[in-house]
Structures are given as C-alpha cells and as structure tokens.
Amino acid sequence: MLDTVRVRPIIDTDWPHIAALEQAAYGPLGLSEGENALRSWRALSPDTCFVLGQPGAVRAYVLAMPFPYGGYPQLGLSAGVLAGSPNLHLHDLAVAPAFRRTGLGRSLVTHLDAVAGDLGYRRISLIALSGTFPFWSSNGFRPDPAVPAPTGYGDNARYLTKVL
C-alpha cells in the first residue's frame, strides 16, 4: 500500500484531511491551529507545501514558507508574504498515526530539501517540539545556540536548522 503513496501539491479537497492530521498531531499538545490558519500558511508559499497520498487519502503533509533565519511564526497568525528570505521555515509536518515510523516523514523532508534547493533556499529551519529532536536530528537538523528557545510551542521546543 505504501508503494502507491506519492508526494504531490495540496488540492482543495485535501484540507479536511490535513486539518484532521494536524489536530491529531498537535491538538493533544494544545498547539493545533485549525484549517484556516493552515490554509494561510500554505498561501504564503504553495510551491513548498505538499501532501503524501492520493485525493481522499492523505497520509502526511508538510507546510513550509520563507521566514527570516532565527525567527519563527507565531502559531495561528499568518505573517504575510515573506518572499526573498534565503531561509525556508518548515512550520508543520504531520503523519497519520497508522503510518508513523514507515518513512513517510523522511520522504517529505527529503522532497522538501530538493525543492528548497531548486528554489534557491540556503537553509531550512523549524521548531522541534518536545520529543521530536531525534527525528529531526536524523534528517540533518541541528540546534543553533545563537537562537533563543522558542516561545509558544510548548516545553522543551528547540529551534533547529539545516544548511542545504
């Protein structure tokens, strides 16, 4: 079944599935933003936002947009157009619970790395939530001690970066 799952652009009918994945992943942490906020993040950079799956069967998604290095978006608040930043901020990545630990998250990160490089980004940043550091570290992300710990993302959240 996983061999038929492909990375593709987000289409309108994906949003209820994306919102459900986001709620399942971030709701228990009190960090869910809801569908409208997720749509606003994608609107900032449609070329760097993707799903894994087929229409009606979204297994995972990633939302990334240009954002100045060392900064990060406030949850639920769209920052407007940030074109021109050489930094791409990976704001959200979620995998359906039944498909976690199958390589889908790594596939999305690998795809995003390639797209970001092709678009001229020099690095990717993200906020690693508590307990996710091993996953991000295994995908090449490292902490930057010069960037203060993020606020509003829960206990033990860390700002991580990867040079492309």
Task: Give the CATH number, domain containing residue 24.
Answer: 3.40.630.30
Specify the pTM: 0.90
- Kindly give, in sequence order, each residue whose CB lies less than 8 Å from that of residue 114, ignoring residues fewer than 6 positions away: none
The candidate with the shortest Cα–Cα distance to 98, out of 25, 153, 6, 7, is 25
Token pair listed for 121: 């980004």
pLDDT band at 1 (very low <50, low <70, confident <90, very high): very low
Asked if residue 59 is part of any domain, the answer here is yes
Asked if residue 81 is part of any domain, the answer here is no
What mean pLDDT is predicted for residues 136-160? Answer: 90
Which structural domain range is residue 150 located in? 2-74+87-163
Rg for the chain, CA atoms, rounded: 15
One-character DSSP codes across 126-148: EEEPTT-HHHHHHTT-EE-TTSP
70-111: pLDDT as tens digits: 988 877 666 555 667 899 999 999 999 988 888 899 999 999
Number of domains in the chain: 1
